[in-house]
Amino acid sequence: MKVLFVSALAAIAGSITNAKNFCDQWGQERAGPYIIYNNLYGKNKATSGSQCTSRISNNALEASWNTTWTWVGAPEHVKSYANAAYQFKAIPLSAIKSIPSAMDYTVTYDKSAIFNVAYDLFTSSTNSEKKEFEIMIWLTKTGPASPIGAKIATNKIGTTTWDVYKGMNGDVVVYSFVSPNNILKFETDLNLFFKYLIASHGFNSKQFLFKLECGTEPFVGKNVALKVNKFKASVVPH
């Protein structure tokens, strides 16, 4: 059994308050400006398994939550994306000053588990929330988990040098930034990733950002537990 940890908070099980487990496929719960989702969108790919998610605390500034899962079969397919999503109105990238965000978490898992912990952001050419571009930021990856597409660059953003991938998921263009080492305590301005894409890959600054979430994509594993001590985000306009 392996435990990734960065905070003493992870060891204080008694600190969990107002916890409410939801295990249904589309279960969700509001937590201040965030919605916490179970989101078992790929569960039918598994031969067996289940996943439950819960809010740990309700805070106007940050989300604290956890999810536990066991998924067996089809290790090439993602089974879910339990996440906390920050709620905001769609806004053009050109109108954004900064996107400050922080993610502080622990994961307990065995060596056979395959999963990631990642941000997921979506943009569209209009404010209709039609997905055109997806930007993923992988903080943790285990086993052979890898993003869609091929590696196109390596670039330092903030204090981390990221491997940059580009691929297609249906008709959605996906850019993925993958850290070479697991990052368990992350805090940065997410707008730096968009500035890089605009400057280096012709990304259109007129695109509307309409979704910002962070969670975990499991492929396979038994009794894996993600505890998010703190997730916070905001979108600050000019």
Q: Report the pLDDT averaged over residues 99-103.
A: 99
Residue 208 and residue 92: Cα distance in Å, rounded?
4
- How does pLDDT run across 212-232, given as a tens digit for each residue? 999 999 999 999 999 999 999
The DSSP element (H or E) to which 188 belongs, if any, is strand 185-189
Q: What is the pLDDT of residue 14?
A: 33
Supply the pLDDT for residue 20: 76
Q: What is the pLDDT of residue 58?
A: 74
Looking at per-residue confidence, does 233 or 57 come out higher? 233
Neighbouring C-alpha atoms within 13 Å toward the C-beta of 49: 28
pLDDT at 7 over 50: no
Question: Which residues form the catalytic set?
Answer: 134, 217
Note the pLDDT tens digit of each residue in 17-27: 456 799 999 99
- The mean pLDDT of 39-58, rounded to a whole number, is 96
| pLDDT score at 33 | 95
pLDDT at residue 11, rounded to an integer: 30
Report residue 113 as tokens. 């588990």
Q: What is the pLDDT of residues 54-84, one digit of tens each?
A: 999 878 889 999 999 999 999 999 999 999 9
Mean pLDDT, residues 124-151 taken together = 97
What are the two backbone dihedrals, phi and then psi, of residue 87, each rounded to the nearest 5 degrees?
Answer: -100, 125
| Confidence check: pLDDT of 123 > 80 | yes
Higher-confidence residue of 18 and 168: namely 168
Give the residues across from 176 on adjacent strands: 136, 165
- Taking the C-alpha atoms of residue 206 and residue 190, their distance in angstroms, rounded to an integer, is 17
> In degrees rounded to 5, what are phi and psi of residue 40?
-90, 60
Give yes or no for a contact between 52 and 217, defined as CB atoms under 8 angstroms apart.
Answer: no
Which pair of tokens denotes residue 95? 């109108």
- Full-prediction pTM beyond 0.85? yes
Contact 40, 80 (CB under 8 A): yes
pLDDT of residue 17: 46
Q: For domain 2-9+18-237, give the CATH number.
A: 2.60.120.180
Per-residue confidence (pLDDT) for residue 6, from 0 to 100? 35
